[in-house]
């Protein structure tokens, strides 16, 4: 299958590079002294793009530079950097790496919630600074007698719900449609969900419809005892509105693993004592990243060998008439 050529716009894990190069011909755009010249040279031969969040926007203009492009295999469950609708309309398959990271992200989400509610990083800093000698760490909030609303009940959302139920949290959710198999209260929009809860767990996909879905109104509805946790994408939360809500104590606290302009985090959030901030590490264990790498390779190689993609996204079903 060396005649099936794949372009890697940005560096991918070694497991991906090794797995693809064993079977296919790969071109490493990030190593090119002149990336534009490399695309001009190999663009007509490229049939696959292997992307990650670091690849930047993969829109129609980018994909159009490869007239024989057949597949974009993405590393990650979120694929908002890719214009999948455009790809589908032009006969290009898009794949992602779902399921293999659901448990890892769900674990992290619950850990971030606990860290935020019980101020675990702050307590660690308190001890390390020697303050325990002057008195005990202040009392914190609790998970007791709380209701958590899950904004987005996909694979990861359901994994979070399973874990949250073990903590005896009352659960509700907001999603594109009601899930008949979900034994939780359903709300048609995130504002209604926030009004009914005091923990808002954000795990919806990043789309035009969800951009800044968590805004001033939603934060006000969450209330002064409210806690926001975002393990989805930074774009779902209006950062300025969140900073204002934290400073005005409109909500109690926030735990964030994602930001609007990564890796740039507003100083106001860094300085905020009610925040727990993580550098987008939801799926960042070696075990899970290796599983993601293998699935990305499997998608590309399976397609190149004529067996079809393993995990095509909803916008580009396989076979193409399966929508």
> What mean pLDDT do residues 117-136 have?
98
Task: Tell me the domain boundaries of the chain.
Answer: 5-100+287-322, 102-277
> What mean pLDDT do residues 252-273 have?
98
Quote the pLDDT of residue 158: 98
For this structure, is 74 an active site residue? no
Query: Among 18, 31, 247, 262, which one carries the catalytic annotation?
Result: 262
* Non-local CB neighbours of 119 within 8 Å, separated by 6+ positions: 137, 140, 141, 276
Query: Among 27, 74, 146, 233, which one carries the catalytic annotation?
Result: 233
Same-fold call for 5-100+287-322 versus 102-277 = yes
pLDDT in tens, 61-81: 999 999 999 999 999 999 999
Quote the pLDDT of residue 111: 98
What is the DSSP secondary structure assignment for residue 204, as one 8-state letter? Answer: -
Residues 155, 156, 159, 165: is their CA dihedral positive or negative? negative
> What mean pLDDT do residues 247-272 have?
98
Over 70: is that where the pLDDT of 314 sits? yes
pLDDT in tens, 27-53: 999 999 999 999 999 999 999 999 999
Q: Report how far residue 119's alpha carbon sits from residue 275's, in angstroms, rounded to the nearest whole number.
A: 9
Query: Among 45, 65, 280, 294, which one carries the catalytic annotation?
Result: 280
Quick one: pLDDT band at residue 321, thresholds 50, 70, 90?
A: confident
Quote the pLDDT of residue 322: 67
Quick one: pLDDT band at residue 115, thresholds 50, 70, 90?
A: very high
Quote the pLDDT of residue 2: 72
Q: Report how far residue 108's alpha carbon sits from residue 115's, in angstroms, rounded to the nearest whole number.
A: 10
Say which CATH superfamily domain 102-277 falls into. Answer: NAD(P)-binding Rossmann-like Domain (3.40.50.720)
Q: Report how far residue 39's alpha carbon sits from residue 28's, in angstroms, rounded to the nearest whole number.
A: 10
Q: Are the CB atoms for 113 and 142 separated by under 8 Å?
A: no
Is 5-100+287-322 assigned to CATH 3.40.50.720?
A: yes
**Percent of the chain topping pLDDT 70:** 99
> What mean pLDDT do residues 208-222 have?
97
For this structure, is 27 an active site residue? no
- 84: nearest Cα among 319, 323, 312: 312
Q: Report how far residue 62's alpha carbon sits from residue 227's, in angstroms, rounded to the nearest whole number.
A: 39
For this structure, is 233 an active site residue? yes
Over 70: is that where the pLDDT of 323 sits? no
Q: Report how far residue 118's alpha carbon sits from residue 144's, in angstroms, rounded to the nearest whole number.
A: 11
Residues 41, 47, 52, 53: is their CA dihedral positive or negative? positive
> What mean pLDDT do residues 258-281 have?
98
Q: Which two tokens stand for residue 215?
A: 């805004």
Per-residue CA distances from 181 to 158, 164, 236, 283 (Å): 11, 17, 26, 26
């Amino acid at each position: 299958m060396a005649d099936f050529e794949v372009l890697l716009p940005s560096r991918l894990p070694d497991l991906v590079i090794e797995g693809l190069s064993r079977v296919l011909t790969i071109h490493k755009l990030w190593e090119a002294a002149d990336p534009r010249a490399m695309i001009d040279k190999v663009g007509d031969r490229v049939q696959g793009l292997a992307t990650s969040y670091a690849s930047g926007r993969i829109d129609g203009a980018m994909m159009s530079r490869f007239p024989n492009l057949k597949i974009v295999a993405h590393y990650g469950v979120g694929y908002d950097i890719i214009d999948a609708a455009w790809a589908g309309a032009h006969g290009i398959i898009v794949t992602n790496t779902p399921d293999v990271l659901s448990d890892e992200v769900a674990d992290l989400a619950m850990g971030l919630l606990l860290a935020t509610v019980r101020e675990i990083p702050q307590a660690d800093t308190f001890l390390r600074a020697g303050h325990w000698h002057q008195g005990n760490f202040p009392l914190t909030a609790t998970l007791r007698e709380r209701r958590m609303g899950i904004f987005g009940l996909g694979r990861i959302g359901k994994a979070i719900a399973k874990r949250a139920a073990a903590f005896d949290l009352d659960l509700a959710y907001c999603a594109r449609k009601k899930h008949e198999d979900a034994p939780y209260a359903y709300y048609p929009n995130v504002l209604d969900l926030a009004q009914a809860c005091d923990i808002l767990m954000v795990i919806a996909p990043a789309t035009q419809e969800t951009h800044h879905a968590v805004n001033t109104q939603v934060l006000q509805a969450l209330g002064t005892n409210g806690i926001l946790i975002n393990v989805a994408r930074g774009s779902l939360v209006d950062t300025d509105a969140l900073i204002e809500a934290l400073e005005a104590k409109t909500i109690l606290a926030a735990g964030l693993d994602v930001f609007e302009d990564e890796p740039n985090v507003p100083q106001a959030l860094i300085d905020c004592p009610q925040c727990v901030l993580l550098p987008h590490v939801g799926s960042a264990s070696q075990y899970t990243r290796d599983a993601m790498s293998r699935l990305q390779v499997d998608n590309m190689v399976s397609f190149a060998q004529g067996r079809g993609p393993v995990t095509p996204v909803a916008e580009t079903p396989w076979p193409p008439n399966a929508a």
